[in-house]
Amino acid sequence: MSVIGDNLERLFSLKGKAIVMTGAAGGIGSILARGLAAAGGSLALCDLREDEVRKLAGEIEGAAGFGVDVLDAGSIQKCVDAAVAALGRIDVLINCAGINRREGILDVAEATYDRIMGINLKGVFMMCQAVGRHMVRQGGGNVINIGSHNDEDMLGGCSVYGATKSGVIALTRAMAVEWAQHRIRANAISPGHILTPLTAVTWEHPTRSVWLRDRIAMRRPGKPEELVGICVMLASDASSYMTGQAYHVDGGCLCGGDPWDFDTQYKADRSAMPLS
């Protein structure tokens, strides 16, 4: 291999790293799983939809699939034990399972609140506790939580979801602070507006899609594939001094979106900008 290739391999390779991921059967999780495996990682893929995650694992070399319900502490412990038995250790935990239900604050039923909180925040906490115990015993580890644009900014109908994702970032910082002494790092990836089967309906919507594009400097949704690079970097030794941060991958959404029309000599033909 070339010198550049050797250096990249040393920095970014996931060879020998045992990775557990929840929500692995989902639109984002399944693409991250393929990307992490391509970088050399050994994977325990976990999801509520056990059949789908086992099928996915069957298509990826070095992966095994496990059912888990992150609402259930017993199910989490069983899944983590099975992952440790399969992989021998856990170097990286990726918490990707998450749900949303768009409703106004006054419309949210208590059961809906409990379910979104339970999966998105308590579930992440319980997974981190169960895996964190192994990592402390092992003498090191690495946690990657999936946040959201809504952990910083807000959309209507996302009150509970946004609160869970802001909570996930607070939890990420807490782990970075408490667990650095055990050589455990913790970071978050906060995706912007990503096009997945679940969000396709928004991107096809006549007014919402226009509203969204105006708020994204790059004027297009992200692809799940565009989250793979940061995920490999955070999982690898390339990020060895990075902990306690949330990295927004959003095509320029939080920074201000697409500006209103202003006079300049170097205006591009925006009608020529790709929309996908």
Ligand X SMILES: NC(=O)c1ccc[n+]([C@@H]2O[C@H](COP(=O)([O-])OP(=O)(O)OC[C@H]3O[C@@H](n4cnc5c(N)ncnc54)[C@H](O)[C@@H]3O)[C@@H](O)[C@H]2O)c1
Residues with catalytic function: 161
- Residue 148-187 contact track with ligand X, rule CB under 6 A, x = bound: xx--------------------------------------
Torsion of CA 21, 65, 226, 208, to 10 degrees: -90
User: Which neighbouring-strand residues pair with 246?
Assistant: 188
Binding ligand X (rule: CB under 6 A), the pick from 198, 201, 255, 275 is 198
* Least distance from ligand X to the Cβ atom of residue 191, Å: 4
Three-state DSSP at 116 gives helix
- Residue 143 binds ligand X (CB under 6 A): no
User: Smallest distance from the beta carbon of 146 to ligand X, in angstroms?
Assistant: 4
243 touches ligand X (CB under 6 A): no
Under the binding rule (CB under 6 A), the answer on residue 33 touching ligand X is no
47 sits near ligand X (criterion: CB under 6 A): yes
CB of 143 to ligand X, least distance (A): 14
Establish if 65 lies at the interface with ligand X (CB under 6 A): no
Helices (H) and strands (E) in the chain, counts: 10, 7
Q: Which tokens in the block code for residue 236?
A: 């690898």
Strands of 246-249's sheet in order across: 63-67, 42-47, 18-22, 92-95, 141-146, 184-191, 246-249
Interface with ligand X includes 103 (CB under 6 A)? no
Distance CA 153, CA 158 (A): 10
Smallest distance, ligand X to C-beta of residue 149, A: 6
- Write the DSSP string, 41-92: -EEEEEES-HHHHHHHHHHSTTEEEEE--TT-HHHHHHHHHHHHHHHSS-SE
Q: Of 13 and 27, which CB lies nearer to ligand X in the complex structure?
A: 27
How many residues bind to ligand X according to rule CB under 6 A? 28
Nearest to 224 by CA among 200, 245, 259, 260: 200
The minimum distance between CB 94 and ligand X, in angstroms, equals 10
Whole-number Å distance between alpha carbons of 237 and 225? 21
Among 14, 18, 20, 26, binds ligand X (CB under 6 A): 26
Which residues contact ligand X by CB under 6 A?
22-23, 25-29, 47-49, 68-71, 96-99, 119, 146, 148-149, 191, 193-194, 196, 198-199
